[in-house]
Structure 1
Amino acid sequence: MAITGNALDLSLIKRVLRYARPYRKIFFWSIVLTITLAVLAPLRPWMIEYTVDKYISVNDLRGLELMILLMFVALLLEVFVKYTHTFYTNVLGQSVVRDMRTDTFNHITSLRLKYFDKTPIGTLITRNVSDLETIGDVFSQGLIIIIGDILQIITIMLVMFYTDWELTLVVLAPIPLLMLATYIFKEAIKASFQQVRTEVARLNAFLQEHITGMSVVQLFAREKQEMAKFKTINGRHRDAHIRSNLYYSIFFPVVEIVSAISLGLLVWYGAKGVLQGVTSPGVLVSFLLYISMLFRPIRELADRFNTLQMGMVSAERIFKVLDTKEQTPDTGQHAPSRVEGAIRFDKVWFAYTDEQYVLKDISFSVKPGETLALVGATGAGKSSVINLLNRFYEINKGTIEIDGKNIREYKLESLRSSIATVLQDVFLFSDTVSNNISIRNPEISLERMAQAAREVGADNFIRKLPGGFDYNVMERGATLSAGQAQLLSFIRALVYDPAILILDEATASVDTETEELIQNAILRLMEGRTSIVIAHRLSTIQHADKIIVLDRGEIIEQGTHQELLKLNGSYKRLYDLQFNSSGVGSPAGSLRVPSGKQ
């Protein structure tokens, strides 16, 4: 489907309306109330016309009092219908927004990491928040209201023609000028709204990135430079809004001028008719009200149309996200209750972009319960191995197996629940300690979390926190030290009881005092599990069952620590560089493989 963002793009409107299907009753009553309002619109002017001609002109006070009472009843009825109509259309709009927001968020969480590598997070936030609010306005202030305004215009014009067709033709003479102005306004505001939404997305993306990375901005004293960039982006955002407001400031006076011309024609032609006795005073009075009621929806119709236009621009952007086909295919059916943990990479080739391979013909195997260490310079491909094992990215060539089965044959949830990854940069949500550990999994009890905390030696610091497991760690764990955040990630891994454990430089960001505590936690985590350890410090992996040295995406050496030292190759040079240059022989804190694995 070609999405253009045009307000009258029927295919786009139909797609938005599909989200209203579960709310058919509300939608139906919204339409019924819209038609009712259109029918009620000319009722009071007609009653005034009747009152002037039948009662006021003949000094009938009792009849006048009766008509005033009837007009009051009609007013109450119209107020009630308007209230109900406004309520239903807003309920409909917010219900649609809720469902679309749920679908959008669910779709975003299903996308592979490659999509997030090239899409600013602030842009996705804009899609899921402000763009969707604009779609809510399509129902509460746009589509249904436009239908109501058009029906009201048609109803009033029919009543006017029925009452006095000659006077109606005179009064409506300036309408073609208004139609021309409306068309020009519509085309101008369309481009303006598209620019507004683009600048909003840019502004959100800039703010999200710079607030998240504020420590970097301040560390390098870049406040003034980044402020200059922000002023530029904010200025473009302001200019886009000013342009849209400029079109409004031109259009609305034009509508008022046309309305004044129509009113002047009514006074001129209608008064002449009254003096000549061909037009009754009641008709003249009612036409004064009809003109006001006619031009109000015409003036607002352009505004409603632009609400619809803005909603369609937002819908175009949201459906572009929903139409993104970058999910990891979840077609596998294999979902064992527990995997053994045997891992095998067979001639694996992988590239993040095109054919710029970051892994080249990688082959290795790990038996259940063994520890594999990956060593190499930054960019050698170590983290790519982790990403591929979790199917965050898809390989270009070769196969990856767990327990003899291709990982594509596993259900995605089953595969990832069997693997726990502890990263160097621990991400914690702005939530309680318990929710950060369990990721809000109701199957993980507080008792289980407390037991895991004791096993990894983290219960002491958690008890000291105000509220213990109910303590809010704030965004990205800002209120915790790096070591404490790392310990929480170990507890998180332990409570999920994975068969395969991945440690990505898990001790790189902690102090020496905390490192020993973390080393003990690592030993507890590795017991009975297949482990892959990524390390720059060779002191942490000397007792691994197998060490693989990667260089530019290729395996250049593999073996045990002693075997690699005897090769006198890259591993030996890296070992000498880290230890001998500093006079360190066999550093403390090395990774001690649990008993039975050496």
Structure 2
Amino acid sequence: MSDLFAGLHADDYDRVYGNRRLLGRILHYLRERRGAMLGSAALVVGSALLTAAVPIVISQVIDQVAAGAGLGLRLSLFVVAAAVVAWGMNWARQAITARLVGDVVYRLQCDAADAALAKDIAFHDRNSVGKVLSRVTGDTEGFSSVMTLTLNLLSQLFLVLLLGGVVFWIDVDLGLIILAALPLLLGTALAFRRIARTAAAATRRVMARVNANVHESMLGISVAKGFGRERTVYRDFDGVNRLSYAVYVRQGLIYTLILPVLTLLAGLATAVVLYQGGRFAVLGRLSPGEWYFALQALGMLWQPVTQAASFWSLFQQGLAAAERVFALIDSEHAVVQHGNEPVTGLRGDIEARGLTFAYGPGSVVFRGLDLRIAARQTVAVVGHTGGGKSTLAKVIARAYDFQEGELLVDGRDIRSLDLRSYRRRVGVVPQHPFIFAGTLAENIAYGRPDADHADVERAVDRIGRRVWSRSMPMSLHDHLAAGGQGVSVGQRQLIALARMFLREPDIVILDEPTAGVDPLTERGIQNALSRLFTDRTVLVIAHRLATIRRADRILVMREGTIVEDGGFDELLSRDGPFSELYATYYAHQRPA
């Protein structure tokens, strides 16, 4: 079982926070609700005073009865009234606490979602959607438990101090006996802290793995069914689910051990106070009522500690969840800008000088790459898989940051530009565009939320009505499912191109926009692309002969290096790497 947690590795951006720092972050979220906190504190004081008054009054009634003075009716009525009012105050405090926790969890989820959205493409490439989603939703909910426990324990702290002070006032020796037992009880509870935190962190990680597995399985369900691999998908899930079961069982065994140990220690301390208090009562140092009060106070003193221990699993899970959420919020961006110069428009001149890029240790793509793309030039990038074509596009689009060298746009260091405004001027059309849940028009206008219906219609016109109507037999008001279910790859590419026409970027990066369409539709899209290529810089990862022919230049990449650069006819006549690619991949695309 010791190897069980070894497989639950932390994500590369996880951090370890101390309890003090975690609680400090929690209190930071509470500072804006000072009024509610003060109101809750006032209710805590009032409830504690009334709760402490009840055993004090009962002890006086006991002493009156023992002295033969009879039962004090007023004191009895006071006990009833105090209990009712204390209950009302406690209910009001719980209501305020619930609102506070709800507000904090809401703000934390907003911060976590904002942090996830702000992360670069490199972050999301390394981390599965399911794991990130688990932090934004599940871990923020788990965080609420530590909030509730923290506020409840703080509310009982005043009562503990008040009752402890009264016991010392009654008899110092009896107070010292109780005080001596507290470190033993607290020390035992704290001894479980490290192992409990480890178990809680493993629980959150295994839940993230379960979420990631389910999310990936559902995304790829059509592929699994197409190849008849449903049982394989289930076996993968069953393996992760069995791991989750084992982790939760171990966590339960750890946590169920805490409460019995603490209850045993509390029972031993109560027995000591019962015996010693009885001796003091016989000797006349304590009245029967004071003896009763000491026992009641002892029970109330143990309650906050044993309650915290009984909910230790929730407390540690809450801290582990908070740690995971804060790690997401605090994780560093992969793309780092050195300035925020405004970008109102771009000519589109791109230059790389000694560019070095690696996805990680041992996965270097570029080693001192030099490249110059003139403004308003259309450049096709070709080469075998793994040559660096897509990586070059991602680096120019600032999806990834390079490690060494320079990348200049219009003579300015790309790292000195305001990233948000720069990305507005750069349009990227991936080979497999994503479709959001909504109407077709809303999907086209995704890059320009301020666009009206007429703007969307003009974007469609620029692609070509004949091409659009033949390939998209649907209205702009028809709804599409999330992920593009029911929409072909070619239709997704048409939607992505319409988005691009509507956005009007200065630099366009295309990952072969006609790879998924039929030859007739391709011809229409190529005509539309010729209009899109006008007056802007275009970098296209080309797999189609028609796209290559339209380019001003062709870059042939191999293992992160540009091995050939020139026009179509020029490269074809050299009998070099491009000629080999042409004979292998493109020659068969020539019309008969």
Q: TM-score range by the shorter chain?
A: 0.7 to 0.9
Report the residue type matching 1:79 in the other structure.
W
Q: Deviation per CA, 1:62-94, whole angstroms, max 9, x where unpaired?
A: x52x44543343233222322232233333333
Q: CA deviation at 1:41?
A: 2.3
Alignment partner of 1:82 is 2:90 = yes
Corresponding residue of 1:93: 101
Alignment partner of 1:312 is 2:312 = no
Alignment partner of 1:502 is 2:502 = no
Q: Distance in 2 between matches of 1:134 and 1:486?
A: 41
Corresponding residue of 1:324: 331
Unaligned 5+ runs, structure 1: 588-598
> SS at the partner of 2:540?
strand
Paired residues of 1:146 and 1:305 also in contact (CA < 8 A): no
Of residues 38, 44, 48 in structure 2, which corresponds to 1:34? 44
Alignment partner of 1:116 is 2:121 = no
Seen in structure 2, the aligned counterparts of structure 1 residues 330 and 67 have a Cα distance that, compared at 3 Å, is: same
Corresponding residue of 2:254: 247
> SS at the partner of 2:380?
strand
Most deviating of 476-485 and 129-138: 129-138
Seen in structure 2, the aligned counterparts of structure 1 residues 369 and 441 have a Cα distance that, compared at 3 Å, is: closer
Q: Deviation per CA, 1:128-177, whole angstroms, max 9, x where unpaired?
A: 222222333332222x3222333323323333444566777788897676
Paired residues of 1:122 and 1:201 also in contact (CA < 8 A): yes
Paired residues of 2:51 and 2:83 also in contact (CA < 8 A): no
Of residues 445, 448, 452 in structure 1, which corresponds to 2:452? 445
Q: CA deviation at 1:368?
A: 3.6
Q: Distance in 1 between matches of 2:537 and 2:177?
A: 88
Q: Distance in 2 between matches of 1:104 and 1:502?
A: 30
Alignment partner of 1:348 is 2:355 = yes
Q: Deviation per CA, 1:74-128, whole angstroms, max 9, x where unpaired?
A: 2332223222322333333333333333333333334333333433433322332
User: 1:320-399 alignment to 2 at 5 Å?
Assistant: 320-354=327-361, 356-399=363-406
> SS at the partner of 1:385?
helix
Q: Distance in 1 between matches of 2:269 and 2:134?
A: 44
> SS at the partner of 2:549?
coil
Alignment partner of 1:300 is 2:307 = yes
Q: Deviation per CA, 1:577-596, whole angstroms, max 9, x where unpaired?
A: 3465x5x6436xxxxxxxxx
Corresponding residue of 1:577: 584
Q: Distance in 1 between matches of 2:226 and 2:562?
A: 37
Of residues 143, 158, 161 in structure 1, which corresponds to 2:165? 158
Report the residue type matching 1:10 in the other structure.
R
Unaligned 5+ runs, structure 2: 1-13
Alignment partner of 1:473 is 2:483 = no
RMSD (Å), alpha carbons = 3.6
Alignment partner of 1:487 is 2:497 = no
Alignment partner of 1:141 is 2:149 = yes
Q: Distance in 2 between matches of 1:324 and 1:180?
A: 34
Q: Distance in 2 between matches of 1:461 and 1:154?
A: 79
Q: Deviation per CA, 1:470-499, whole angstroms, max 9, x where unpaired?
A: 544223212322222212111211221111
Alignment partner of 1:586 is 2:591 = yes
Q: Distance in 2 between matches of 1:412 and 1:115?
A: 16
> SS at the partner of 1:439?
helix
Seen in structure 2, the aligned counterparts of structure 1 residues 380 and 183 have a Cα distance that, compared at 3 Å, is: closer
Q: CA deviation at 1:424?
A: 0.6
Q: CA deviation at 1:446?
A: 3.2
Q: Distance in 2 between matches of 1:176 and 1:503?
A: 67
Calculate percent identity across the aligned residue pairs: 28
> SS at the partner of 2:563?
strand
Seen in structure 2, the aligned counterparts of structure 1 residues 507 and 207 have a Cα distance that, compared at 3 Å, is: same
User: 1:392-407 alignment to 2 at 5 Å?
Assistant: 392-407=399-414
Q: Distance in 2 between matches of 1:427 and 1:54?
A: 80
Corresponding residue of 1:49: 59
> SS at the partner of 2:483?
helix
Most deviating of 364-373 and 271-280: 271-280
Seen in structure 2, the aligned counterparts of structure 1 residues 386 and 68 have a Cα distance that, compared at 3 Å, is: same
Of residues 29, 35, 47 in structure 2, which corresponds to 1:25? 35
Paired residues of 1:145 and 1:304 also in contact (CA < 8 A): no
Paired residues of 1:539 and 1:586 also in contact (CA < 8 A): no
Q: Distance in 1 between matches of 2:38 and 2:335?
A: 39
Paired residues of 2:448 and 2:502 also in contact (CA < 8 A): no
Q: Distance in 2 between matches of 1:39 and 1:133?
A: 33
Corresponding residue of 2:197: 190
Paired residues of 1:174 and 1:261 also in contact (CA < 8 A): no
Report the residue type matching 1:89 in the other structure.
T
Q: Distance in 1 between matches of 2:521 and 2:333?
A: 40
Q: CA deviation at 1:384?
A: 1.6
Q: CA deviation at 1:461?
A: 7.9
Seen in structure 2, the aligned counterparts of structure 1 residues 140 and 558 have a Cα distance that, compared at 3 Å, is: same
Q: Deviation per CA, 1:285-337, whole angstroms, max 9, x where unpaired?
A: 65665454343323102245554433333333333334433342233344343
Q: CA deviation at 1:20?
A: 2.8
Paired residues of 2:425 and 2:505 also in contact (CA < 8 A): yes
Seen in structure 2, the aligned counterparts of structure 1 residues 163 and 415 have a Cα distance that, compared at 3 Å, is: same
Report the residue type matching 1:24 in the other structure.
R
User: TM-score if structure 2 supplies the norm length?
Assistant: 0.84
Seen in structure 2, the aligned counterparts of structure 1 residues 498 and 170 have a Cα distance that, compared at 3 Å, is: closer
Corresponding residue of 2:7: none
User: TM-score if structure 1 supplies the norm length?
Assistant: 0.83
> SS at the partner of 1:238?
helix
Q: CA deviation at 1:275?
A: 8.8
Most deviating of 78-87 and 517-526: 517-526
Report the residue type matching 1:586 in the other structure.
P
Alignment partner of 1:232 is 2:239 = yes
Q: Distance in 2 between matches of 1:188 and 1:414?
A: 48
Paired residues of 1:336 and 1:414 also in contact (CA < 8 A): yes
Seen in structure 2, the aligned counterparts of structure 1 residues 76 and 496 have a Cα distance that, compared at 3 Å, is: farther
> SS at the partner of 2:509?
strand
Q: CA deviation at 1:448?
A: 1.6
Paired residues of 2:472 and 2:491 also in contact (CA < 8 A): no
Seen in structure 2, the aligned counterparts of structure 1 residues 532 and 275 have a Cα distance that, compared at 3 Å, is: closer
Corresponding residue of 1:593: none
Q: Distance in 2 between matches of 1:570 and 1:182?
A: 70
Report the residue type matching 1:241 in the other structure.
Y
Seen in structure 2, the aligned counterparts of structure 1 residues 571 and 4 have a Cα distance that, compared at 3 Å, is: closer
Q: Deviation per CA, 1:402-453, whole angstroms, max 9, x where unpaired?
A: 3333323322122211111111111123344344333375422233223312
Q: Distance in 1 between matches of 2:503 and 2:424?
A: 8
> SS at the partner of 2:331?
coil
Paired residues of 1:5 and 1:313 also in contact (CA < 8 A): no
